[in-house]
Amino acid sequence: MGVRRAAKGVGDFLSETVGDAVAEVILSLLACALLGCLALIAYLSWFFSPRLTIAGVGLLSLFLAHGAWRTFRTPAKRRRRGFAVLTTGGFTLIAMTALFLLLYATGCDCL
């Protein structure tokens, strides 16, 4: 009985280890592809119109700054509505994407 339990434990350990390794490779490839797409978008945007690229980055910065301000300021007694919900959600999405890229794309040697 002890041998069967030990063999089952070793098999479970190997299965979990291989699953973790495969998940890590998939997440790294996904992060590398996302980083490549972001770089391609920036390159194509600058190629077609540098002025519009700078204007778009400025508007995106204002959008994210408003979202960060609404996220981290002391909450008011009233609820968030309209544009504040949009900017807060956008800021949260960008922050989570940046965290994902920081964790998984740091070892990306494709660029």
For the chain, residues with pLDDT lower than 50 are none
Q: Is residue 22 part of a domain?
A: yes
Q: Is residue 109 part of a domain?
A: no
The string of DSSP letters for 59-76 reads HHHHHHHHHHHHHHSPPP
Q: Is residue 110 part of a domain?
A: no
pLDDT at position 52 is: 92
**Cα Rg of the chain (Å, integer):** 22
Q: Is residue 10 part of a domain?
A: yes
pLDDT at position 8 is: 79
pLDDT at position 110 is: 60
Q: Count how many domains the chain has.
A: 1
Q: Is residue 58 part of a domain?
A: yes
Q: Is residue 78 part of a domain?
A: yes
Q: Is the pTM of this model over 0.85?
A: no
pLDDT at position 27 is: 85
Domain that holds residue 95: 2-104
pLDDT at position 1 is: 57
